[in-house]
Amino acid sequence: MRLGKTEEKRDSILQAAAKVFSKKGFYQARIEDISREAGVGKGTVYEYFSSKEALFKNMLVDLNREHFETVYEGCPPMGSVVRRLEKILVLHFKFIENQRDVGRLLIESHFSLGKEIHLWLWELQLEKIKDLAKIIDAGAAQGEFRRDVDVYLAAHIVFGAVAAVSGMIIMEEIPSGKLENLARNTLALVLRGLKVDT
Amino acid sequence: MRLGKTEEKRDSILQAAAKVFSKKGFYQARIEDISREAGVGKGTVYEYFSSKEALFKNMLVDLNREHFETVYEGCPPMGSVVRRLEKILVLHFKFIENQRDVGRLLIESHFSLGKEIHLWLWELQLEKIKDLAKIIDAGAAQGEFRRDVDVYLAAHIVFGAVAAVSGMIIMEEIPSGKLENLARNTLALVLRGLKVDT
Amino acid sequence: MRLGKTEEKRDSILQAAAKVFSKKGFYQARIEDISREAGVGKGTVYEYFSSKEALFKNMLVDLNREHFETVYEGCPPMGSVVRRLEKILVLHFKFIENQRDVGRLLIESHFSLGKEIHLWLWELQLEKIKDLAKIIDAGAAQGEFRRDVDVYLAAHIVFGAVAAVSGMIIMEEIPSGKLENLARNTLALVLRGLKVDT
Amino acid sequence: MRLGKTEEKRDSILQAAAKVFSKKGFYQARIEDISREAGVGKGTVYEYFSSKEALFKNMLVDLNREHFETVYEGCPPMGSVVRRLEKILVLHFKFIENQRDVGRLLIESHFSLGKEIHLWLWELQLEKIKDLAKIIDAGAAQGEFRRDVDVYLAAHIVFGAVAAVSGMIIMEEIPSGKLENLARNTLALVLRGLKVDT
DNA sequence: AATGAATGAGTCTTCATTCAT
DNA sequence: CATGAATGAAGACTCATTCAT
């Protein structure tokens, strides 16, 4: 299962890109910063990625894959959808917390990038929302969730709620130990709502 | 009630800035684009704002004020907090819808800007969240909302939810006529949650 | 002998120009600095002088006139040329010392200005050198100076020597009380030379 | 003894800088002029020098070194200090004449530059004056020069005199053949002074 | 395959000058 | 006459990208 030398170098560049882009944002990050961080020459970056934008996109795709593998695959469908959601939230918050800088990029769904790349990012986010929609749909099918809700809308709402709390974790530097509780509370609110039970 | 000529020009530059920054993002926007959009010379922009960054910040502050006046002040406390929230949501969604470009900037709380300005933006957002927290707190005090929720967390969640739906409105170009319904549904979900009533 | 209001304003602009140009040099000085220093509007400067360069030249001409009046006219031909030279040196050094900033400009015969203005400055300096040559010539005619010297060359040498000592006065902030002595020593060297008498 | 390619390029930029700065002065010279003169791209200049000012300073330091090597090192202490001075003057005048443009910069001790760089230039000049003072001091020690003169003052005077004559050479385009004679005459005046021997 | 020196297009910002009031 | 708001030409500097080694 060893990666070829080539694959290794490609990876180290992506790692470096994640670090530098996260810290400085797309426009402030310089290719040279990234190449130095990766310990390779500036020209080498262009051996593996055709442009700064391509590198950026690849980095995000990579990050998403890692996020997906950590959060969803590390948490397959199980009996209760609610339980699964709770587990997903915990894993997600931990992922965020483990990789502050990198996590910031995942939350920052919006960038001051050109329109084209902006749309591309929206697509990326939409996919996550659709994954969420499937889960919610499953919950409705199993009778755990109300059937009178617009699943697509609900997915957006849950996504936004989770993103906002993720931002809170990063910006307010919530300590690791409180994440499980935070996940539970967040989910509780999303599931039961604000209103007093009637 | 006439604005001085000077104030008028300052305003037209801010208007133009909102338009151009929204469309292109901070780094892609050129001062010249903005000055042309405003119908003034390039140098004139610098008569009113000391730098591109200063213009950007001023523009956001301005936008926030407008948003605040439209949404919150256009919707003072009333008997029911739930009713007030619903009204706020409708106004907010309409504000978003009316000024797609401009609205995009309000949602895009995160930019690929330098760390400093990024923090400044976070502060701006936090203020909005705190406004929300006050409303929720009032709801709890009046017995409309459950008392066992962390108000600060709840405010983040509502904020995130609303932001996500706002993004949906902009990106999927939801027609104006459906906004009231969308506001109702969003609020319903936030208030009652996903789970089936027990 | 009262100056008209107009003349007064023109003068205050020239004063301000001398101050600001001296402190910052031609390119670093901004017309606005000068107008503010003069207590007039920016546009007013252009009522009196057609351009920055014209203002600069006028200011130097003015300064030269003042210098000439102070130094040469305040010291008409008299019996001994040597005595006259000594008096001239004292007056010159005092002029320099009195108006450090302004004096600096007189010494700084060379500027990083465009070729054209540079030549003009050289002419200004050459006139002073020619005045000096006349004095030396008179000294030779009176038998005080050697007749075998090239008067024109000698004038350059004296001019350079005096300029260098003037620079010393400004840069090393020689106190006022030592100027007379310095003038005497400078003149002694110029008159008797370095070499031991044979 | 071959310079590395890199060193070569650095040098050609310095050469070009000397030429362009000399001709146009600091503020009128454009980096692009210099880069074109050097036959390199605009960006390349910044590979070697961090800013226009840094380039300017480096160029002057370089020039000074060259001047020093040509004039002083090409003329080591010998029996007679007077002889040495005469040789130095000849070499100096030839250096000036050989590199009119470049020489102009050496003479133009004063520029319309910011205060900071101005001070730096004064230091540069002061060093030369101190070198001169050492020579004069040696002359006094050897009994060739009078002992009752202030060596530091004398050095300033000689420096100023030489600078003024150098200016004459450049501005009046004294032909090469007359330089030796000019050096002799200049030195004679400096050594014996203007006054008739008593 | 890897490098980094070289490049020049692109942009913010300054400031002399103009001109409507 | 006096003003200062408006202008836009000009230039230092950055950095993605290329390419000879």
pTM for the complete prediction?
A: 0.86
pLDDT of residue B111: 40
Domain topology for D1-49: Arc Repressor Mutant, subunit A (1.10.10)
pLDDT of A25 higher than 90: no
Shortest CB distance from C193 goes to which of D108, D182, D193? D193
Chain-chain contact of A144 with B195 (C-beta, under 8 angstroms): yes
Chain-chain contact of A112 with B112 (C-beta, under 8 angstroms): yes
Asked if C165 has any chain D CB less than 8 Å from its own CB, the reply is yes
Shortest CB distance from B186 goes to which of A112, A153, A190? A153
Angle between helices A179-192 and B151-171 (to 10 degrees): 60
pLDDT range class, residue B110, cuts 50, 70, 90: very low
Four-point Cα dihedral A72, A74, A78, A84, nearest 10: -60
Chain-chain contact of B157 with A154 (C-beta, under 8 angstroms): no
Percent of chain B with pLDDT over 70: 90
Compute CA A21 distance to the chain's CA centroid, rounded to the nearest angstrom.
15
Q: Nucleotides on strand F with an atom closer than 7 A to protein CB?
A: 1-20
Contacting residues of A for B158, CB less than 8 Å apart: 161, 194
User: What would the pLDDT profile of D115-147 be if each residue is shown by its tens digit?
Assistant: 667 777 778 888 889 999 999 999 999 999 999
Shortest CB distance from A108 goes to which of B104, B110, B188? B110
Q: Which amino acid is at D31?
A: I
CA distances from D9 to B43, B69, D15, D22, D34 (A): 38, 62, 10, 20, 13
Chain-chain contact of D193 with C197 (C-beta, under 8 angstroms): no
Interatomic distance D12 CA / E6 C1' (Å) = 15
pLDDT of residue A186: 96
Coil, strand, or helix at residue B87?
helix
pLDDT of residue B6: 79
Q: Range with the lowest mean pLDDT among A130-139, C63-72, C107-116, D101-110?
A: C107-116
pLDDT of D89 higher than 50: yes
The string of DSSP letters for chain D reads -PPPHHHHHHHHHHHHHHHHHHHHHHHH--HHHHHHHHTS-HHHHHHH-SSHHHHHHHHHHHHHHHHHIIIIITS---S-HHHHHHHHHHHHHHHHHHTHHHHHHHH----S--HHHHHHHHHHHHHHHHHHHHHHHHHHHTTSB-TTS-HHHHHHHHHHHHHHHHHHHHHTT--GGGHHHHHHHHHHHHHH-SBPP-
Task: Give the residue with greater pLDDT, B109 vs B152.
Answer: B152
The CATH number of the structural domain formed by B52-192 is: 1.10.357.10
Interatomic distance C135 CA / F5 C1' (Å) = 54
Q: CB–CB of B89/B71 below 8 Å?
A: no
Q: What's the rounded mean pLDDT across residues B126-153?
A: 92
Same fold, B1-49 and B52-192: no
Regarding chains A and D, contact by 3 or more CB pairs under 8 A is answered as: no
pLDDT of residue C114: 57
Q: What's the rounded mean pLDDT across residues C152-156?
A: 94
pLDDT range class, residue A73, cuts 50, 70, 90: confident
Nucleotide nearest to A45 (CA to C1'): E2
pLDDT of C115 higher than 70: no
pLDDT of residue D8: 86
- Number of Cα atoms under 13 Å in the Cβ half of residue B98: 10
Chain-chain contact of B194 with A189 (C-beta, under 8 angstroms): no
DSSP state of A109: -
Asked if C118 has any chain D CB less than 8 Å from its own CB, the reply is yes
Q: What's the rounded mean pLDDT across residues C80-94?
A: 93
Measure the CA–CA gap between D115 and D117, rounded to whole angstroms.
Answer: 6
pLDDT range class, residue B1, cuts 50, 70, 90: very low
Domain boundaries along the sequence of chain B: 1-49, 52-192
Nucleotide nearest to D44 (CA to C1'): E6
Measure the CA–CA gap between A27 and B113, rounded to whole angstroms.
Answer: 8
How many angstroms away from the CA of D63 is the closest CA of chain C?
Answer: 17
**Helical ranges in A39-150 per DSSP H:** 42-48, 52-68, 81-98, 100-107, 115-141
pLDDT of C161 higher than 90: yes
Measure the CA–CA gap between D162 and D173, rounded to whole angstroms.
Answer: 16
